[in-house]
Amino acid sequence: MRVAICLFVASVLPLSAQTGREDREFTVKTLDRIAKPVIESLAEGKLKKELPLGSGEKDRADSTHLEAFGRTMAGISPWLALGPDSTPEGNLRARYITLSRKALVMATDPQSPDRMNFSKGGQPLVDAAFLSQALLQAPEQLWTPLKDAEKANVIAALKETRAIKPYESNWLLFSALVEAAIWSLTGECEIAPIQRALEKHEEWYLGDGIYGDGPEFHADYYNSFVIQPAMLAVLEVCRDKKHDLGNRWPRVLARAKRYAAVQERLVSPEGTYPVIGRSSAYRFGAFQHLAMMAWRKELPEESPPAAVRGALTAVIRRTMAAPGTFDKQGWLQVGAVGHQPSIREGYISTGSLYLCLAGLQHLGLPADDPFWTAPAVPWTQKRIWAGEDVKADHAYETK
């Protein structure tokens, strides 16, 4: 056992001379390995037959398929938005674009064997929102090429979630995301859910770039899983539509930059991070916010892109090297680092686990972007623990 542990640790330590090209190749391979069974199965109308449910997950059978699809798409859509090109990666991306559109049609066509549940129970609101996030992130690849009837099916499915009342928590942003996508794609929406979500989260802002999930603080990663990425996506639509709510953008962006700096500092020199709070089984999806801010080119000054690249890649490498991450058929298994069934909460199923892909949004930056081409530099904790004299960190004070 001691030998096995030593070999595991040795195999996952970040490479000191890793290049940006190697980081990107590894990250694309990670995306492909995780997303492939979801997208291929659904494109063929076989996801309901092939997606496994783990022990104790039978009560999630009505929701797990939309979870897998919506969360996968939220993660890979920035990469899809780059479109195809003649490189091996571009050819792979072209294949995923085609398969993803087929999957979208299968998920929303009333005659499809894989038509998904958008209205039964509360969970469909969550994952319709992640699907909405994907539609906002890659409309030219996922929406524009659809036939009119297919577009109508997508919008009808999203509108089914209007019957679901969100909890007084981050769930308000799920309703807002759905409405923002409908608004962006069709020009009409119900503005009240958007306004309420933004107003309540302004009320719940706690300081130093952190929002409460409701009126109370929770020590977890929901500012990254949901809150900050959703707020930016919704506000971006408000700005595009020239609605007064879009005026909140500068304040919310400043907070988002501070939270990105906090996230970068959470990565240890070894590529580990504190596993704490709810939904730890979403793995490196905990860093959706940092990856998204890199993709948006909105990283704070104290978090250089090459350092963020190194930190994210180190976390992904540590996670992907853990034995038991996948079952024998290639589906994700519950765990933060490998297969850890005890970390599962009652709302977690196999489909839930695919939110880890949201931690790969930086792949939406093209391969020739400085994020990928700049020489590797150490991230903050690596610098500090190597003894470098690093400037003091300070809270973001402005509310």
Model confidence pLDDT, tens digit, residues 40-89: 999 999 999 999 998 889 999 999 999 999 999 999 999 999 999 999 99
Beta-carbon contacts of 109 under 8 Å, excluding residues fewer than 6 positions away, are 115, 150, 153
Q: What is the pLDDT of residue 397?
A: 75
pLDDT at 274 > cutoff 70: yes
Question: Could you tell me the residue ranges of all domains in the chain?
Answer: 18-45+59-385
- DSSP for 2-60, please give it: HHHHHHHHHHHSPPTT--HHHHHHHHHHHHHHHHHHHHHHHHTT-HHHH----TT-GGG
Largest Cα–Cα distance of the chain, in whole Å? 63
Closest CA relative to residue 241, chosen from 187, 176, 178, 175 = 187
Beta-carbon contacts of 156 under 8 Å, excluding residues fewer than 6 positions away, are 108
For 360-380, the pLDDT digits (tens) are 999 999 999 999 999 999 999
CATH 1.50.10 fits 18-45+59-385, yes or no: yes
Averaged confidence pLDDT in the chain = 95
Q: What is the pTM of this model?
A: 0.94
Paired with 332 in beta bridges are: 326
CA separation, residue 123 to residues 144, 155, 183 (Å): 27, 18, 22
Tokens 């076989």 correspond to what residue? 46
Closest CA relative to residue 283, chosen from 343, 226, 331 = 343
Average pLDDT in the 255-283 region? Answer: 98
Beta-carbon contacts of 242 under 8 Å, excluding residues fewer than 6 positions away, are none
Structural contact between residues 168 and 200, judged by C-beta atoms closer than 8 angstroms:
yes
Average pLDDT in the 276-295 region? Answer: 98
For 117-146, the pLDDT digits (tens) are 999 999 999 999 999 999 999 999 999 999
pLDDT at 3 > cutoff 70: no
Tell me the residue type at 214. G
Tokens 């609605």 correspond to what residue? 243
